[in-house]
Chain A
């Protein structure tokens, strides 16, 4: 049970403000999800592969990480933001880097050319401040505030969930067949890391895309294969998509201007967006897939 926000910029001049705009939207959704918060932000890309890792003990775990990675993989970029570290490295070093990071006990939050993921437990305002989300630029991003229902309040249980390169998902609702789906995916070799229903939704979409489906087809598939109440917002390298279950009880509202497309659980999150007074504001239809790509 949660709050969701998403922002996709059409106007490239607004890119430096993406983090600030998303952060304000995220904080407005605090009441819907005070337990944890997270954001996936998509930058320009083109510098190779970015890997976001997390540690509960960054002082120890990130100490010497730069040197160890450089020794093993050659020159890499490393930026530390509180409990998270973002590595940038050539695409052919991706798998070796992931193995090395896992061996050092770090959690992989997300991998991709453009995507960085930041999530932690705590109030959205505090989480945003820890990572300096406000100063981040990018083309689009999605965010989430979480009120945990049945799975634990942990960093890993926070959204967004990323289950494939440059793909991530946030969710408001409660799936009623996620255990069955988790077992179905496991038989195909798709492993989830948490008990969280949202991760199953994310893994389902990634697995369909890996099998050759388009994002649109994968989102259509959720309507057939996932049961329960859900509003999903999914981010990809090029854009983002939205789908609501056929009953569509969980709130969702969208706004579009010449500059951006925005998504939120409540209109309140839009109150500070530029030009919102003249924006086209509407609610996504049930069982209908929407996506915006550049």
Chain B
């Protein structure tokens, strides 16, 4: 177990140390102490290491993460795990806006609530939120799965592409071109796997699925009210 104390070590050194682990992965367990809301903590990691962050972080924690597991024992600011490629990011507390924005892969597991625009433009990432999500979540979401155990805010899935949205609680409103869809066996299977991997206490049958109506995929003057 290696420890990096941000009360004594500057951000550059913390990130440089973790980023350098790609070549020498024998040290796989890392702890970051005293993050105190700092931005860009544990970004750009590209090795199968496990980083525990003891406290809350600011913007873009675990940004562009690949391979690594980053576990934040606190809450995170905007853009956690933005553009994540692979690996896993676990948040014990809440996440601010843009959680998992444009993420390509891996699992973002938020134990608390996520704020607005959770999963915006997601491109293949899987996101599981144990609490609620805010407005405009999954805006222009392209690929991947967003699972919400609680409620969703306004305009869920606005201008959605092919991402799958699963919500257990209520949805305040659906965005343009987002509709409820039939839950088929393959969806229950995906959901069951994600719930297990995220350690979520829920069964797939409790969820509803939302997806793109695909009416805005090509311009059609009859849909002008949606623009």
Check if B37 sits within 8 Å of A266, measured CB to CB. yes
Which of chain B's residues has its CB closest to A276's CB? B56
Residue of B39, B75, B97, B153 near A281 (CB, 8 A) is B75
Interface pair A285/B94, CB less than 8 Å apart: no
A286–B136 Cα distance when bound, in Å, is: 11
Q: Is A268 an interface residue (CB 8 A)?
A: yes
* 0/1 interface trace, chain B 4-23, chain A, CB 8 Å (1 if under): 00000000000000000000
A282 to B115, CA, bound (A): 9
- Whether A267 pairs with B97 at a CB distance below 8 angstroms is no
Q: Which of B134-183 contact A (CB under 8 A)?
A: 134-135, 153
Q: Is the CB of A268 within 8 A of B75?
A: no
Interface of B is mostly: loop
Within 8 A of B (CB), among A259-294: 266-271, 281-283, 285-286
Binary contact readout B65-76 vs A (1 if CB under 8 angstroms, 0 otherwise): 000000000010
Give which listed residue, A249, A266, A283, A286, contacts B58 with CB less than 8 A. Answer: A266
Neighbour of B36 across the interface among A268, A283, A286, CB < 8 A: A268
Residues of A contacting B44 in the complex (Cβ-Cβ under 8 angstroms): none
Partner of B37, one of A248, A267, A283, A285: A267
Are B94 and A281 closer than 8 Å at their CB atoms?
yes
Q: Are B75 and A266 neighbours in the complex by a CB distance under 8 Å?
A: no
Evaluate contact between B134 and A271: CB separation under 8 angstroms: no
Q: Is A98 an interface residue (CB 8 A)?
A: no
* A-B contact list, 17 entries, CB within 8 Å: A248-B116, A248-B135, A266-B37, A266-B58, A268-B58, A270-B37, A271-B37, A281-B93, A281-B94, A282-B94, A283-B96, A283-B97, A283-B115, A283-B134, A285-B134, A285-B135, A285-B153
Q: Which residues of B contact A (CB under 8 A)?
A: 36-39, 56, 58-59, 75, 77-78, 93-94, 96-97, 113, 115-116, 134-135, 153
Supplied contacts A282-B113, A283-B97, A285-B153, 9 more A-B pairs, CB within 8 Å:
A267-B37, A268-B36, A268-B38, A268-B39, A268-B58, A268-B77, A271-B37, A281-B93, A283-B116
Q: Give 8 closest A-B pairs by Cβ, nearest first.
A: A268-B37, A271-B36, A267-B37, A283-B115, A271-B37, A268-B58, A267-B77, A267-B56
